[in-house]
Chains A and B, each alone.
With several copies, the nearest count.
Chain A
Amino acid sequence: MSQQADTKGWTREEMAQRLAQDIPNGSYVNLGIGIPELVARFVPQGRMFIYHTENGLLGMGPSPEEGDGDPELINAGKRHVTANPGAAYFHHADSFAMIRGGHLDLSVLGAMQVSQHGDLANWSTGKPDAIPAVGGAMDLVAGVKQVFVITQHCTKSGEPKLVESCSYPLTGRGIVNRIYSDLAVIDVTPEGFRVVELCPGVDFQSVQERTGAPLLPAEQ
């Protein structure tokens, strides 16, 4: 966290708020576990998003008051949630038909690494003693219309997460559309990473220094 503080980048909440601004009204959105969950707190004025959780609910609402939770009304992170008016429950095959069939507009995911070709690694370190666990991440990136990654720009030890080529096992190949980090908003383009917007007070060069692949400047 000290690394991030040094660069005076966006907070996690600011990253989430910035991302939410790019979601059109009426979008169907799946939020991954961790920072992506924060996006639900920031619905821009005049818009409404419908949240999908792959364990079987469309129209997921906020967490209930402490103690009000139903152990059988949970999200993909297995936390208690609520259901908004207009919600629907369904089984897993139907839920992943929505995902695989391209019916969701947006998947927001965390990342361990993103390559300049849009490859994503976010499910396994690949270490021999790790217990492999994948959940729905590979389905989400294979089926949802757009994939946004929200992540700290670097690891806690300062290594770049945006790289030429992922060293960790892939979740999907060429599927990330845009990255929201604490330092910048960056598109994955056929030419590679392109800065869309810099965090106020952060300059292009300092982002490039923290990125493991060439950055293209914002288009004018």
Chain B
Amino acid sequence: MIDKRVVSAAEAVADIADGSSIMIGGFGEAGSPIELIHALIDQGASDLTVISNNTGSGQVGLAALLKERRVSKVICSFPKTLNSTVFPELYREGFTELELVPQGTLAERIRAGGAGVPAFYTPTAVGTPLGEGKESREFDGREYLLEYGLTADYTLIKGLVADIHGNVLYNKTARNFAPIMASAADVTIVQATTVVEPGVIDPETVVTPGIFVDRVLEVAEPAHESELIAAGECYP
């Protein structure tokens, strides 16, 4: 009586409106939910804010979404990767705004957003240009910056196995941002290689509990960014 499956990537992302904020899992190509991103390109939503560690490579997946000029802002720690030409052009042109956040601060802000913590203090970036203008405070004689929790309207992530209640397992370092992003969005959409009945996943090993997941899509043979790029693919 609880079944979070959707039948297509198009259905999964159908309600994403212009102006939405979207967290997108992945560190490089590991964990990038390419099929969901491509469905979002087809769907047409624009003026998006994307929260993701990178900005994609080549002209597929996240880079393709940027190239289609759908993203007005990225919140990101490392927006240049090998084969990453799309974002630099949009950034220099002034089309896409960048909020650069240290990787650990980005992760902790997302975790805080999901955990109901509106703000926290961190030692990261004190005394650097990324700390300039930020509120700071001393604890035990050391300086820390105040950072704010981060939430989004949607999260798109890629799992290895999901059950129809939304419990998710990941593949190796594809886990990266997915569990915390799942917790920080109003609507979390998971594509998984295999979708199973409740009870198949050992409750001791669940990484993302179903409470954080709203929609589950089976994508049995997900594409890998590097393979698409090697094959010269451009999306759409």
Contacting A at CB under 8 A, from B61-112, are 77-82, 87-88, 91-92, 98, 100-108, 110-111
- Which residues of A are found within 8 Å of B107, using beta-carbon distances? 91-93, 95-96
| Residue contact B103 to A96, C-beta cutoff 8 Å | yes
B167–A169 CB distance below 8 A: no
Task: Supply 29 A–B pairs (Cβ within 8 Å), ascending by A.
Answer: A25-B2, A48-B1, A55-B173, A70-B171, A71-B225, A72-B30, A73-B30, A74-B27, A74-B173, A84-B198, A86-B163, A89-B173, A91-B175, A91-B177, A91-B179, A92-B107, A96-B104, A97-B116, A97-B183, A101-B116, A131-B80, A131-B88, A132-B98, A134-B77, A134-B102, A138-B102, A142-B124, A143-B124, A172-B127
Contact with B along A42-83 (1 / 0, CB 8 A): 000011101011111111000000000011111000100001
Whether the Cβ atoms of B116 and A91 lie closer than 8 Å is: no
Contact of B123 among A46, A83, A143 (CB under 8 A): A143
Q: 8 shortest A-B CB distances, which residue pairs?
A: A86-B198, A85-B199, A96-B104, A139-B104, A100-B116, A173-B127, A97-B115, A88-B206
Whether a CB of chain B sits under 8 angstroms from the CB of A28 is yes
Residue A171, interface by CB 8 Å: yes
On whether the beta carbons of A73 and B173 are closer than 8 Å, the reply is yes
Encode B168-209 as 1/0 by CB contact (under 8 A) with A.
001111111111100110000000000001110101101101
Report the count of interface residues on B (CB-CB < 8 A). 76
B30 touches A85 (CB 8 A): no
Q: A175 to nearest B CB, angstroms?
A: 9
Q: How far is the CA of A13 from the CA of B173 in the complex (A)?
A: 28
Known: A50-B210, A71-B226, A102-B116. A91 touches B176 (CB 8 A): yes
Cβ–Cβ contact A173 & B27, under 8 A: no
A72 contacts B128, CB within 8 Å? no
A6 at the interface (CB under 8 A from B): no
Checking B1, B91, B114 against A26 with a beta-carbon cut-off of 8 angstroms, the contacting residue is: B1
Which residues of A approach B to under 8 Å, CB–CB?
25-26, 28, 46-48, 50, 52-59, 70-74, 78, 83-104, 119, 124, 126, 129, 131-139, 142-143, 169-174
Interface of B with A (CB < 8 Å)?
1-2, 27-31, 53, 77-82, 87-88, 91-92, 98, 100-108, 110-111, 113-117, 122-130, 163, 165, 167, 170-180, 183-184, 197-199, 201, 203-204, 206-207, 209-212, 224-227
Contact of B203 among A72, A87, A136 (CB under 8 A): A87
Q: Chain B nearest CB: distance from A90 CB in Å?
A: 6
Q: Are A171 and B197 in contact (CB under 8 A)?
A: no
Determine the residue in chain A with the shortest Cβ distance to B115: A97
Contact of B87 among A73, A98, A131 (CB under 8 A): A131
- Separation in Å of the A116 CB from the closest CB of chain B? 16
- Measured in the bound complex, the distance between the Cα atoms of B198 and A50 in whole Å is 12
Specify which chain B residues have a CB less than 8 angstroms from the CB of A172 in the assembled complex. 126-128
CB distance from B207 to the nearest CB of A (A): 8
